[in-house]
Amino acid sequence: MTIDMLIDIGSWVLLSLGGFFVFVGGVGVLRMPNLYTRMHAASVTDTMGAILIIVGIMLQAGASLATVKLAAILLFLLLTSPTASNALASAALLAGLRPSESTAADTERHQ
Amino acid sequence: MSRRPALTARILLLLVLLVIAWLLWSGLYKPLLLALGAFSCLITVYLARRMGYFENDLFALRFGPRLFHYWGWLAKEVVRSSMEVTRIVLDPRLPISPQVVDVKATCKHPVSQALLGNSITLTPGTLTVDLHNGVIKVHCLTRSGAEGLMAGEMDRRVAALEEN
């Protein structure tokens, strides 16, 4: 009973923390000023949110095939979500959406 | 012409691996699901062919202990920078200083460069926008994030993965 309870508590801590980071990602997307900065906030949801929630569910699933599948889902998620972000960012750049504060880096280069 | 059999063999090897993976993950052997599985595997191979995947070695990324060690380090970085971005998002003043920097990729292989670009994107606060001729254009949320990236530890670690 005690071991089960410890696993349950650990699982709920992970799930709650994951939910917190998903929430932070959402708040960040609303607060940030433009597309590129919003994507930074969204990546908190993609990474910390996804990792904590999936590991939390893995603890609930225990030593079963479902846990292996969840691990695979997490791996594929971590491989594909940055790829999707790259596609989005590079499409925005190609479409002519300049990161508005790029001037800071530009002036440094000219010095 | 001598490349032809090798190419066919590589395509078939990928197809067999995909079919095995599908059957293991699915575990349901109804005609509809098997047909959908066959369709997914074929379209994956077709897309991989179109992307020029078979022009390179099939397994350019070696799954050694070194890669897992790198993943461990990357996980630590992801946690650290997630905390950083969380702190910024929840700060009422929203202290951001977005900027774009160019990072030189030391690694030469396209797969290693893709690994570096994806690792940069995966870490909250830095976002790969473009990768061209070994130079990665990175959008950073803060100046300190940009400076951390320019210190080049991630670049060194990915380059070290490439050594034999």
A58 lies in some domain: yes
A109 lies in some domain: no
B70 and B88 within one domain: yes
Q: Is pLDDT at B3 greater than 80 in this prediction?
A: no
Q: Is pLDDT at B2 greater than 60 in this prediction?
A: no
A97 lies in some domain: no
A98 lies in some domain: no
| Domain end (from B31, B55, B79) | B55
Q: What is the pLDDT of residue A106?
A: 42
Taking a C-beta distance cutoff of 8 angstroms, is the pair A47, B124 a contact? Answer: yes
The pLDDT tens digits of the residues spanning B48-88 come to 888 877 776 655 566 678 888 999 999 999 999 999 999 99
- How many whole angstroms separate alpha carbon B12 and alpha carbon B159? 31
B60 lies in some domain: no
Could you give the ipTM of this predicted complex? 0.80
A100 lies in some domain: no
CB contact under 8 A, B89 and A28: yes
Based on the structure, what is the number of domains in chain B?
Answer: 2
CB contact under 8 A, A51 and B86: no
Nearest CA to B122 out of A93, A51, A94 is that of A51
Domain of residue A39 covers 2-92
Based on the structure, what is the number of domains in chain A?
Answer: 1
Domain of residue B41 covers 3-55
Q: Is the pTM of this model over 0.90?
A: no
The whole-angstrom distance between A1's CA and the closest CA on chain B is 32
Q: What is the DSSP string of B36-51?
A: HHHHHHHHHHHHHHHT
B70 and B41 within one domain: no
- From first to last of its 111 residues, what are the pLDDT tens digits of chain A? 688 899 999 999 999 999 999 999 999 999 998 899 999 999 999 899 999 999 999 999 988 888 988 999 999 999 899 999 999 998 998 888 888 654 444 444 443
B85 lies in some domain: yes
The whole-angstrom distance between B102's CA and the closest CA on chain A is 9
Which chain A residues are Cβ-neighbours of B82 within 8 angstroms?
Answer: 21, 44, 47-48
Taking a C-beta distance cutoff of 8 angstroms, is the pair B81, B75 a contact? Answer: no
Q: What is the pLDDT of residue B23?
A: 87
Which chain A residues are Cβ-neighbours of B89 within 8 angstroms?
Answer: 24-25, 27-28, 31-32, 41, 44
Average pLDDT over residues B115-133: 90
Strands (DSSP E) contained in B42-125 are: 99-104
Which among B81, B99, B103, B116 is the top mutation candidate for probing chain A, defined by the most A β-carbons within 10 Å of its own β-carbon? B99
B41 and B91 within one domain: no
B148 and B106 within one domain: yes
CB contact under 8 A, B122 and A43: yes
B154 and B120 within one domain: yes
Which chain B residues are Cβ-neighbours of A24 within 8 angstroms?
Answer: 85-86, 89-90
B84 and B21 within one domain: no
Q: What is the pLDDT of residue A105?
A: 43
B149 and B99 within one domain: yes
